[in-house]
Structure 1
Amino acid sequence: MSEAGAGARLNSIEVLVGYGRNFMRGRIHLYAPKESPAILSGDVVQKPMLVDDTMRPSELVQEWLSSCVSHHDLCRKAFSGDLVNEETIYPGAPHRLIEVYEKSDGASQPSARLIERRPRVDTRPYMYVALSHCWGPPNERPLCTTRASLGQHMLQIPWGQLPQTFQDSILLCKELSIQYLWIDSLCIIQDDEEDWSIQSRFMGQIYERALFTIAASSAKSSTEGLFRSGKADRVLAYIEPDLEKCISSSPLNQRAWVMQEYFLSRRIVHFTIHGLLWSCKNGKGSETQYMMSEFGSSWEAVSEDDWRALVQSYTRRQLTYKSDKLVAIEGLSRQFSYRYKIDRSFQYRHGLWLENMPHDLMWYGEERLVRDRGNYIPSWSWASTTGPISFKASVFGNPEVFHAHVTGGNLTFILGMEALVRRIDDLEGPVRCQAFCFEDVQDMGSTGRMHEEYRDSSVHVAPTFVFRSGGKKVGWGVFDQHEEPSEDVFCLPLIKQKVWEGFASSKEQHFLWVLLVSSVAPGKFERVGWGLHFVPSWFDGLIARLISLA
């Protein structure tokens, strides 16, 4: 720290840690509680800490909320593009809400009960907040509304049966004078498949229309509550936690369901082990850090291409029931659809977008995937597998793409190239694959060692095998699963890309991004992998035809 002369004031302390020429540099900012001697004397010139020992969490939330509602125009706009007025009625409002009210007997805690809205009869506006929380393991399952308990919950929800996170959320609503709260386990009848199916479709709208979302970010179950730590000692030297890391690494953010809750909520209050964090579409802040602006600009610029990035993150999250794989992201897909209908009609099928074909088909497992047999999801969708997936990065150089369209549950290709098959002299790999063909089938293939030298810098997976033709290696492929396909394997070209031999070279080359498919019936195939072929002329002589990919 530099020497402080007469009249000097402290802003921060710079710390160097290391030996010789190898050291790390860090800066500790100096804060102080309001009305403290350090602030009153002017010794600390940073803005005072936002929270002092007497400030209640609800007071800080109220400050953030009031500032956002008054000044952030961006936060009035839902992701779907609609302007949100919390005091007006809108289609798709929650069918049930928890009403927070005071009992006449003067009890210290508020009371709560379920109410049901009748959209065509009930014309009152409902300003509400939503809760995002971890349910926890089966032995810590939160209180749920069932067909048997619905009547009781409409009269009153027993306070003693509410887990700590629910109690804390209700108390927060009381202190903020917010009358209504939405909690999934209580507002959806959990043992009624019809009710669950109907209400889950509106989850996207529920979170984006809420005044704000309460995120129990650090709690692994609903029994742990919102407040994970007591008041920290307020010292002058304070190391501000990384806000992004606090949120991204939290237990709550590991849940698959939470992706759409976080993405669609216009305002979120995160309750973490480091204290309260605020995020909205205009900025972020913490108990010691004032609101940072410009956070919402990337949200405004989001495009259909960002769907792939969302899916990549989604497949790395935890999901208790495999059957929820597409349901847990359905609300987000619906809001994407509403947003892009402004320009054109986007059609969503099994986790992919028709207008993004065939680029959305270029996904692969970062590790060997497990195919979820017996579900209704076709093999060409990433949702038919379990495991983290990635998408091939955007293909540059004016690629030639093959037209694809969806009919029902199948994806039908119109193969736009005239050349599709040529005999392979050799196929090296840990599994035995037959010839890749559509017309004039020819037997090819052999076993051998796996080669990893033929890789693309944007693809983070090792090839399973290498194509050979005329003694030369002409491409590579990778299977989705460990198991060897039991039927013959075929090669289906998706995109023809133009490349150059080297930097500043004018000599063009072309290669093909391909799907690997296996026949399951005449004219019907399923996906088993994907790859890259360096010699498009390998397909010369094939007549294009329509196939069905199930």
Structure 2
Amino acid sequence: MAPALCSKCSTLRFYDVFNDDVVFHPDLNSLVQSAKKCESCNLWWTQLQRDCSTEDIAACLARKLPTHVAKSSNNGDFKIYLRGEWHPAGTASVPDQIWLSCGVLVSAAGHDAPTKLQTHLAVFADPATPAGALFAGRYSTNAHNREYYATFAKGTLNACRKTHGVCNQASPPTPRQMPTRVIDVGDQTLPAAKRVTRIVLTKDLKQPQPYTALSYCWGRGTQAMLNAKNFADFTKLLPESKLSKTHIEAIDLTRLLGIRYLWIDALCIIQRNQEDWEFESKRMASVYGNAELTIIAGRSADSGLGFVTNDYLTSKNLPKPVPMKTGPHPHTGEGPDLGTVYLTIQRSKTVGPVDMRGWCFQEALLSNRSLIFGKDQVSYQCRLHTRYEDGCVDTDVSKREQSLTSLNPGTKPEVLRRWYQMLGSFTPRALTEPHDIFACIVSVAMITHGILKARYLAGLWECDMPRALLWKSRWSYVSRRHFLPIEKPLASPFTERKGEIPGKPVIRAPSWSWANVAGEVFWDTNPRIESKWMDPKNIHIKPRDPKGSWTNQRGAGSPDVLYMPSLELQLFVKAVEVRCTNVLKKKTPLTPEGIMMESIKSAPSAKPATAPSGPAKPSYLALGYFDFPSDPRPANIWCSLVVAHEGLLLTRDGKGKFQRVGWFVVQDGKQFDGVKEMAVDLV
């Protein structure tokens, strides 16, 4: 059934709006009234409400100047204009689109004539149509071009294989090898009825073969899993009728791509076998780095739901795409009408639920090529670009080139900077099993270890210990509006660990490690001031071991150690016992709330770090921030200086051991002049 269109929308052509600014409606009121009957106008009105503030919209409806627009010669113009933007062969970082502007020609908006309201709709065409040869954007949902993902996957993968030399190199650069086990999806030369899907041991294959790998959220839908009981049976036949929908769709997609083998963790790692799990967990760099393609089921939070069909846009009750005539060639104006293109709301590049799962983080980072089934659209990412279903091509590969898993990761300072930036992206992600925290990044840690040649201590590198110890919560330090507070890791609802209660706090790392908390943390990685972490004169903490080791604990330092709950550091520090004197009510340069620390036994040359307003009677030593502000205050608190202006808040237990409880800042560190070093065992 053809959509209901007003007289203006039914005659509008992309050729017309590409070559000139077209008056669409006399004012916003006219557009709103038309939107009640016209599906195209309704699409524009919906997008305007998504992009523009209610205050600016109300002003334009009343034909008044929005507050953000300065008075100018055009302040009496409230016409609605359209102007097209077309990119040959989809070579731009934005899709083909049509812009809408209120009161200002689109071609003038953004210069000396700020628009009152502005938005745009994306343009797409159906494949295998005359318009499809000219417009790169596509739209694949449950109701429109449902099978397009297969065409997109084949086309982008084949082009990458033929023309992208760097994408054909393994990452890390090692000889190509296959995982221990893979799923044989069947000989494609045989009829479907004669194909056998089964688990195979790759050591039995004559030579390494191309394979795909799946990255996805398990959820509660993962059904059949490889275990000791069904291992022999699954090597003969893997019953697809018992697999989750996501697993079935990954098998089907692998077949469509003409690839015979597929790796899925639930079916290729022996579940409830700790030895096999640990062995395979350490090989993720090889599993994903050597895969011909990683299939990322980004839009699905549960493997029982599948990932191929995109019903996100339609499930949100948003207006459907509307057709529009093209006219002749947008540039030359020659030739016949190319048929129909469609207008649709802007689609995000958001990946979806897998972006918040801990295990999926390194899987994406380690992959050479990825086919991403994102929330709004499908995309293909490789080492040269990311190509989206809507026609966008992101050629800025700087993020991938600067990745720890790139072929040229950089110098040691650059590698450290990227390590901290990586952790900043990883730490907000959720883990069903909190003790998997180190296993989730073990492959990236092993790659980093190969460059730094330093010991790995509960997620911190010994060669950069002062900075590594000073991690901070983004919520408390940066913004309480845009970030969530850090919390204590909670035991899995499926836990079988002795002494743990599902949903109750657990200890998975030492107090001084970022892995001791759940939530987003960050480090100072500003390259302009990195020297402060390298200058010995600026460092006020050191290991007790004369050889420079920060711990003498046996077995410490290897990046492939998956469990490090009780690692102890042996240090010399300058520490002063303090008490909390008040909570700052006024905003500071750091956070809305800071705890003033007053020295119990003032240092000889102690000066106030930052005194509150009014007469300052006590000698304030530092401004402190607790990792868990809602917890009861420790019975004793110590300020331990790490660098000239920052340090750790510690507390001492009955056995004389110290634990981290937060961090503090001072003006310049002179408050600690004359304080003698003391030995500290930090647990």
Q: Which residue of 1 aligns with 2:510?
A: 378
Choose from 16, 19, 23 the match for 2:101.
Answer: 16
Q: Which residue of 2 aligns with 1:297?
A: 398
Determine whether 1:484 maps to 2:632. yes
- Name the SS of the counterpart of 1:527 in structure 2: strand
Q: Which structure features the higher share of helix residues?
A: 2
CA distance in 2, matches of 1:210, 1:319: 24
CA 1:493 to 1:289, structure 2 compared with 1: closer, same or farther past 3 Å? same
By how many angstroms is 1:76 displaced? 3.3
Determine whether 1:531 maps to 2:664. yes
Unmatched 5+ stretches in structure 2 = 1-11, 21-83, 87-96, 105-112, 315-319, 324-340, 404-414, 476-484, 491-504, 533-537, 544-548, 554-566, 600-607, 609-616
CA 1:48 to 1:398, structure 2 compared with 1: closer, same or farther past 3 Å? closer
CA 1:483 to 1:330, structure 2 compared with 1: closer, same or farther past 3 Å? same
Determine whether 1:116 maps to 2:201. yes
CA distance in 2, matches of 1:227, 1:391: 38
By how many angstroms is 1:151 displaced? 1.2
1:428-487 CA-partner distances (Å, limit 9, x unpaired): xxxxxxxx34xxxxxx64x64301557444xx5732334365635442112222333544
| Letter in structure 2 aligned against 1:538 | Q
| Letter in structure 2 aligned against 1:66 | N
| Letter in structure 2 aligned against 1:476 | L
- Name the SS of the counterpart of 1:529 in structure 2: strand
In the TM superposition, what are the counterparts of 1:103-182 in structure 2 within 5 Å?
A: 106-107=191-192, 110-118=195-203, 124-137=207-220, 140-182=221-263
By how many angstroms is 1:331 displaced? 2.1
Q: Which structure features the higher share of strand residues?
A: 1
CA 1:7 to 1:358, structure 2 compared with 1: closer, same or farther past 3 Å? closer
Determine whether 1:549 maps to 2:641. no
Q: Which residue of 2 aligns with 1:406?
A: 550
Q: Which residue of 2 aligns with 1:427?
A: none
CA 1:242 to 1:291, structure 2 compared with 1: closer, same or farther past 3 Å? same
Determine whether 1:256 maps to 2:342. no
In the TM superposition, what are the counterparts of 1:81-480 in structure 2 within 5 Å?
A: 82=173, 89-90=176-177, 93-102=178-187, 106-107=191-192, 110-118=195-203, 124-137=207-220, 140-229=221-310, 235=323, 236-239=341-344, 241-244=346-349, 246-247=350-351, 250-289=352-391, 291-294=393-396, 296-302=397-403, 303-338=415-450, 340=451, 344-365=452-473, 366=475, 367=485, 369-370=487-488, 375=507, 377-392=509-524, 394=526, 396=529, 398-399=531-532, 400-401=538-539, 402-404=541-543, 405-407=549-551, 408=553, 409-415=567-573, 420=574, 436-437=576-577, 445=579, 448-453=581-586, 455-457=588-590, 460=591, 462-467=593-598, 471-480=618-627
Could you tell me the percent identity over the aligned residues? Answer: 22
CA distance in 2, matches of 1:205, 1:187: 14
CA 1:319 to 1:4, structure 2 compared with 1: closer, same or farther past 3 Å? closer
CA distance in 2, matches of 1:130, 1:208: 10
By how many angstroms is 1:89 displaced? 4.4
CA 1:103 to 1:282, structure 2 compared with 1: closer, same or farther past 3 Å? closer
CA contact (8 A) 1:133 1:216 kept: yes
| Letter in structure 1 aligned against 2:639 | C
CA contact (8 A) 2:216 2:298 kept: yes
CA distance in 2, matches of 1:327, 1:454: 39
CA 1:38 to 1:3, structure 2 compared with 1: closer, same or farther past 3 Å? closer
CA distance in 1, matches of 2:370, 2:18: 42
1:398-426 CA-partner distances (Å, limit 9, x unpaired): 531244543232223344xxxx46xxxxx
CA 1:182 to 1:3, structure 2 compared with 1: closer, same or farther past 3 Å? closer
CA contact (8 A) 2:581 2:595 kept: no
CA contact (8 A) 2:348 2:376 kept: no
1:333-372 CA-partner distances (Å, limit 9, x unpaired): 222223x2xxx41332211222222111111233353267
CA 1:8 to 1:17, structure 2 compared with 1: closer, same or farther past 3 Å? closer
- Name the SS of the counterpart of 1:299 in structure 2: helix
- Name the SS of the counterpart of 1:61 in structure 2: helix
CA contact (8 A) 1:485 1:528 kept: no
CA contact (8 A) 2:486 2:518 kept: no
| Letter in structure 1 aligned against 2:200 | I
CA 1:53 to 1:473, structure 2 compared with 1: closer, same or farther past 3 Å? same
| Letter in structure 2 aligned against 1:301 | Q
CA distance in 2, matches of 1:490, 1:466: 9
1:210-267 CA-partner distances (Å, limit 9, x unpaired): 11110111112111122223799784233474453x21xx112111111111111111
After superposition, the CA RMSD in angstroms is 3.6
CA contact (8 A) 2:596 2:620 kept: no
CA distance in 1, matches of 2:211, 2:239: 21
CA 1:275 to 1:528, structure 2 compared with 1: closer, same or farther past 3 Å? closer
CA distance in 1, matches of 2:130, 2:437: 55
CA 1:217 to 1:182, structure 2 compared with 1: closer, same or farther past 3 Å? same
By how many angstroms is 1:135 displaced? 0.7
- Name the SS of the counterpart of 1:222 in structure 2: coil
Determine whether 1:62 maps to 2:154. yes
Q: TM-score when scaled to structure 2?
A: 0.64
By how many angstroms is 1:23 displaced? 2.7
- Name the SS of the counterpart of 2:270 in structure 1: coil
By how many angstroms is 1:117 displaced? 3.1
